[in-house]
Structure 1
Amino acid sequence: MALAFAASQAVGSNKCYALTVDHGFRPESSREAKAVSRQMHRLGITHEIRRLDWSSAGSGKGMTTGLPPLQRLEEIARERRYAEIVDTCHKHGIGAVLTGHHAGDQAETFLLRLLRQSGIYGMAGMALQTPLTAAAPREWPSTAIPTVLIRPLLPFKKEILYEICKTQDIRWHEDASNKDGRFRRNRLRQLISTKSGDPKSPLNIDSLLRMCDIMQGHREYINQEVKRHFATSAKFDTTLGTVELAATDGKRGLPPWSTNAAVRERVLADVVRWVNCKGHPPELTHLQRFGRALDKYYHQPSVATPVSAAGVTAIPPSSRHGWLFCRQAPRVGDIEPREGLAFGSSVVWDKRIAIRVNWAGSPLVASATWCLYSLDDAMRRWHGQISDHRNQLRRARKHLEPHMVQVTQPVVCIRIADASDTHTYPVLAFGHTLESRPEMATSGIDIAIQALGTLGSTASEIVR
């Protein structure tokens, strides 16, 4: 609430748009969301409430229905919350999202990442500003607007925010779930609060924030180094979702991005996060697994083998490529098919590419929709049923090298309903048109594939 007031004073309430995501975990959450809406109306800020539906909360993770398991509840809730935020931004043309993270949240994040052995970069805590590209909406507009996440209250302690609300007669609500000791972050919050008055305690909030500041200085330097190495030693393939890193310095020695342990850790972290499309950085143990594979290759290249962690596989260098990072084959249900899509609509596939299909000027459009399947899903659906389609997909599959993750590649299909039956025809795979029927070769089907922003960059068109 303090953030809403400050933002309305800084830029004007008519330029603000507030969103409350009601997770629906507590009986009183709906009532509190409505109370927030009344406060926003009082401030003159347009407000929207989105309540998450957990009745079919599989979220593509192999779960059935209902709430996710407790150990993954916070992670999945965060993913869905940010997906709603990004979706709202693109529907209303919003380019900046402000969140109310404060100094206490930063201190908790430092301790949480310390316990996770996140390393220097992770213990630098939350940044004041970061691109909001981790979560992608299922629907994507024709013109995507890059969105930045800003945390303007990070320097301020919670007591200051309370004082703002009191002086402005603004009511606020305390989330009762913040006291739930089953969650690690809540236990850390309670621990910090007990030490807040002890300046000699290492768990004093000021001590924790000073450590964050020190780590942020290291992070700034590492960021510059990583940026330089990406420009000279990395190849990002947005079509296939792979990254290739240089294998040597040109003289069979360690590549430049791997000579410094801190820089190497960050290069690997950014590459893994880019490839697996997850909204959070990989754990240090996963990065160390990749690091050991690198060291093993440079000491015993003859016995080097691929290594997998965090949903990513690293393939040792060959005569054709350097270190290649690609997706692990997803679990069943990780990538769900998309069906019954109207022509002209755009959807996000595999959290990394937006696909839009238009079919103008054809008499079949009125009885047709388009859909998306993964390659393996499409092969299974047409196994022994439509052999010519299966053969076309098999030929398209040859465009990939054997090591490439193929199951995540999208197959675009047209589904046509007539008086007697419904027929589904693949029309595109891996950017290669599949002419299943003579009329489809000349019917004006337009398929656009757009890579979403990565590593802080804006979206870039890759296939049309």
Structure 2
Amino acid sequence: MRVSASLYNRSPSIAARFRTSLEALWKKDGPPPRLGLAVSGGVDSMALASLCSETTKATSGQYPPLIGFIVNHKLRKDSTEEAHNVAEGLRRLQIEPRVLTLDWRPYGNPLAIDHLEHVARKLRYQAIGRACRENGITSLLVAHHADDQAETMLMRIVGKYFGSGLGGIRTRRPIAECRGIYGVDGSGSPRSAASGDKEVTGDVQEMLIEDGGVDVIRPLLTFTKAELIEHCMAAEMRWFEDHTNADPRFALRNTIRHLQTNEVLPAALRKQRLLEVAARVREQAAEVESSAQREYDQLDISLDIRTGIATFKDTARIRVVGRNVKTALVRKLLSLVAPVHEIKALDVYHVAESLWPESHDGNRKKGLRTPTQIANVTISPPSGAGRGIWTMARQVPTQKDTTSRFIILSQLSTWQLWDGRYWIRMRKRQVGNGTPETLEVSVRFLQQDDIAKLMKTSNPAQRRALRKLLSMASGNLRFTLPVLIAREVSSGTAMPDAGRVVALPSLGWSADGWARWSEDDGFEDPAVEWYWDIRYRRVDLVDGGSHRIVACLPHVRSSRDEAEGFRADVHDTAISPRPTS
């Protein structure tokens, strides 16, 4: 292929800009140990692969090793050949290729699926997310560029998005399609609430907090598609075109792409103007976020991860900040206990002002006087004796919640996310060469009938201990707690009974034959047949300063340990850092 001198002259500047863009993304924490690349074989992703390869060579291998993930969707007869051709192209760039083939068997004929593009995207990102987890990759580079940004902006305008939504595509985000996948969705590197260290301790009295996961990173958002094509031509890089992307009949984005490319839109809706608007919105959003983070860091906050209850102390200082900052601050606070991944600013905007109403002429506006619900969280204002302490807790579940948040636990030691708040797993003690499954164990919300059954089958000492445990989540808040229910299984089918309560994991209680799983146990208790473990989901809070995390599970012994019943020593204080030797 003949390439003009001008292309060769401009390509180095593109490479230099790319290196600067990439380094800016990990300026704070340093480069990750390995980088993943999502490579479709199109010009965008091949430009990304080429730029990554050139950057690695230019820095004498100081950049992280690269793995390129190629997804074979198996939707066209020549897709397998194309995937292998893309893999060969990556090898020439000295990038290790991995071809991931999607499994459509659960869906039957994929071409008959409604919204096939949406389903394919979800399966594609889930396959790549799991592959990243298996290869120890926490950063996945994708090739979205400035033209994609402009298209997204126009789509959001058409969809009547306003405010921060007009900031366009974010440079970094978790993989939304991988929610609930352990090791990808904000998990995989648990940390101690006491020390903040990312570690797995053998302390069965401490509940760990999850951290880690895989983030999508977009280093090409300031590059136009024309620049990426130019780079590939200068580098004599081959790429594969999906001609359906240019057909305006297939999707709204294709239609917008056609209008943008042919410049038939008004000047205010053309690419450069949209990119300028997005940049201004992102800059303003960053200023708001920075101000909200400063207020958050100074706020007295306590989070009890055993019950999922958070408190924060009222302060007059916040009354004078802008409403957008208040909104961002409330979203941060709600995220400590909310069972949802995304808390929309529009839903919070009016509530934020009622928490910290502004004062005019020395007269303070009336604020929130009664509990209110938002993002499935109940926010309760300070009581008369509350000394300015606000309380936030997961909203008491509705009947629909009770049904939809019911999951059957895998007996393969697999972490599963329950109610968006707790990661829970279980396993059976190994006996001999393996035993058939005899129980179906599920996790759901604690119910009044569960408490009644436990009280009925307990002696007076046990009932007192249970009441003390349950008092940690007073009133109806106890019905937001997880409970493990076991039912007998016969011939692979669960018996038609309500089952029995075998653990209140977030409170540290276990029935006979059950116990908390300890990673450091050198032996297994012969009296215990089943083990469970629990961790709190990732939160932006570290114990220390004005922030406090209560993560110490009560010390509970079952009736097999003490003839007179079990006892519960409920600790209502935060964990203290471990003493150093």
The interval holding the TM-score normalised by the smaller chain is 0.7 to 0.9
Spell out, residue by residue over 1:91-119, the C-alpha distance to the aligned partner (whole angstroms, 9 max, x if none): 22112110111111222333444556655
8 Å CA contact 1:337–1:372 kept in 2: the answer is: yes
8 Å CA contact 2:68–2:98 kept in 1: the answer is: yes
**Distance change in 2, residues 1:55/1:367 (3 Å):** closer
8 Å CA contact 2:171–2:219 kept in 1: the answer is: yes
Q: Which residue of 435, 438, 443 corresponds with 1:373? A: 443
Q: Which residue of 250, 253, 264 corresponds with 2:326? A: 264
TM-score, normalised on structure 2?
Answer: 0.60
Shift of 1:148: 3.4
8 Å CA contact 1:272–1:312 kept in 2: the answer is: no
Q: Which residue of 261, 270, 284 corresponds with 1:204? A: 270
Shift of 1:384: 8.6
8 Å CA contact 1:449–1:461 kept in 2: the answer is: no
Q: Does 1:124 align with 2:167?
A: yes
Residue of structure 2 equivalent to 1:339? 409
Residue of structure 1 equivalent to 2:227? 160
Shift of 1:31: 4.1
8 Å CA contact 2:486–2:501 kept in 1: the answer is: yes
8 Å CA contact 2:323–2:353 kept in 1: the answer is: no
Q: Secondary structure at the match of 1:348?
A: strand
Equivalent-residue separation in structure 1 for 2:177 and 2:541 (angstroms) = 10
Residue of structure 1 equivalent to 2:379? 315
Range that drifts further, 430-439 or 148-157 = 430-439
8 Å CA contact 2:67–2:97 kept in 1: the answer is: yes
8 Å CA contact 1:87–1:136 kept in 2: the answer is: no
8 Å CA contact 1:134–1:278 kept in 2: the answer is: no
Residue of structure 1 equivalent to 2:351? 290
Equivalent-residue separation in structure 2 for 1:178 and 1:268 (angstroms) = 42
Equivalent-residue separation in structure 1 for 2:492 and 2:153 (angstroms) = 62
Q: Which residue of 449, 458, 482 corresponds with 1:410? A: 482
Q: Does 1:11 align with 2:78?
A: no
Spell out, residue by residue over 1:401-426, the C-alpha distance to the aligned partner (whole angstroms, 9 max, x if none): 3464845x432356666899978654
Equivalent-residue separation in structure 2 for 1:279 and 1:348 (angstroms) = 12
Larger of the two Rg values belongs to structure = 2
Equivalent-residue separation in structure 2 for 1:258 and 1:304 (angstroms) = 22
Residue of structure 1 equivalent to 2:533? 448
**Distance change in 2, residues 1:381/1:122 (3 Å):** same
Tell me the matched-pair count: 434
Residue of structure 1 equivalent to 2:512? 437
Residue of structure 2 equivalent to 1:48? 99
Equivalent-residue separation in structure 1 for 2:414 and 2:182 (angstroms) = 8
Equivalent-residue separation in structure 1 for 2:334 and 2:248 (angstroms) = 32
Equivalent-residue separation in structure 2 for 1:303 and 1:152 (angstroms) = 47
Q: Secondary structure at the match of 1:431?
A: helix
Range that drifts further, 295-304 or 205-214 = 295-304
Spell out, residue by residue over 1:190-217, the C-alpha distance to the aligned partner (whole angstroms, 9 max, x if none): 4433438x8x811121111122222232
Residue of structure 2 equivalent to 1:213? 279
Equivalent-residue separation in structure 1 for 2:260 and 2:163 (angstroms) = 21
Equivalent-residue separation in structure 1 for 2:407 and 2:442 (angstroms) = 6
Unaligned runs of 5+ in 2: 1-45, 191-211, 359-363, 517-524, 543-548, 554-581
**Distance change in 2, residues 1:42/1:329 (3 Å):** same
Q: Which residue of 12, 32, 47 corresponds with 1:2? A: 47
**Distance change in 2, residues 1:22/1:421 (3 Å):** closer
Equivalent-residue separation in structure 2 for 1:129 and 1:158 (angstroms) = 20
**Distance change in 2, residues 1:217/1:174 (3 Å):** same
TM-score, normalised on structure 1?
Answer: 0.72
**Distance change in 2, residues 1:452/1:190 (3 Å):** farther
Q: Secondary structure at the match of 1:366?
A: coil
Q: Which residue of 400, 404, 413 corresponds with 2:473? A: 400
8 Å CA contact 1:347–1:356 kept in 2: the answer is: yes
Residue of structure 1 equivalent to 2:503? 428
8 Å CA contact 2:47–2:228 kept in 1: the answer is: yes
Equivalent-residue separation in structure 2 for 1:316 and 1:78 (angstroms) = 40
8 Å CA contact 1:275–1:326 kept in 2: the answer is: yes
8 Å CA contact 2:409–2:425 kept in 1: the answer is: no
**Distance change in 2, residues 1:306/1:258 (3 Å):** farther
Tell me the amino acid that sits aligned with residue 107 of structure 1.
A
**Distance change in 2, residues 1:338/1:204 (3 Å):** same
8 Å CA contact 2:249–2:255 kept in 1: the answer is: yes
Unaligned runs of 5+ in 1: 58-65, 250-254
**Distance change in 2, residues 1:420/1:447 (3 Å):** closer
Shift of 1:322: 0.9
8 Å CA contact 1:192–1:205 kept in 2: the answer is: yes
Q: Which residue of 194, 202, 215 corresponds with 1:148? A: 215
Q: Does 1:110 align with 2:153?
A: yes
- Correspondence 1:222-241 to 2 at 5 A: 222-233=288-299, 234-241=301-308
**Distance change in 2, residues 1:212/1:383 (3 Å):** same
8 Å CA contact 1:229–1:257 kept in 2: the answer is: no
Equivalent-residue separation in structure 1 for 2:391 and 2:288 (angstroms) = 21
Range that drifts further, 48-57 or 1-10 = 48-57
8 Å CA contact 2:146–2:225 kept in 1: the answer is: yes
Spell out, residue by residue over 1:185-241, the C-alpha distance to the aligned partner (whole angstroms, 9 max, x if none): 455444433438x8x811121111122222232233222212112222244554555
Q: Secondary structure at the match of 2:381?
A: coil
Shift of 1:450: 2.5
8 Å CA contact 2:102–2:124 kept in 1: the answer is: no
Q: Secondary structure at the match of 2:87?
A: helix
Spell out, residue by residue over 1:160-201, the C-alpha distance to the aligned partner (whole angstroms, 9 max, x if none): 2233444534222327367566865455444433438x8x81
Spell out, residue by residue over 1:62-113, the C-alpha distance to the aligned partner (whole angstroms, 9 max, x if none): xxxx95779xx84x77665544443322222112110111111222333444
**Distance change in 2, residues 1:383/1:164 (3 Å):** farther
Q: Secondary structure at the match of 1:152?
A: coil
Range that drifts further, 118-127 or 272-281 = 272-281
Residue of structure 1 equivalent to 2:14? none
**Distance change in 2, residues 1:461/1:291 (3 Å):** closer
Shift of 1:48: 3.0
Shift of 1:54: 8.2
- Correspondence 1:384-399 to 2 at 5 A: 388=457, 398-399=471-472
Identity, % of aligned positions = 16
Q: Secondary structure at the match of 1:48?
A: strand
Spell out, residue by residue over 1:346-388, the C-alpha distance to the aligned partner (whole angstroms, 9 max, x if none): 3333344333435547679734567331125x87899999974
Shift of 1:56: 6.5
Equivalent-residue separation in structure 1 for 2:515 and 2:174 (angstroms) = 40
**Distance change in 2, residues 1:385/1:360 (3 Å):** closer
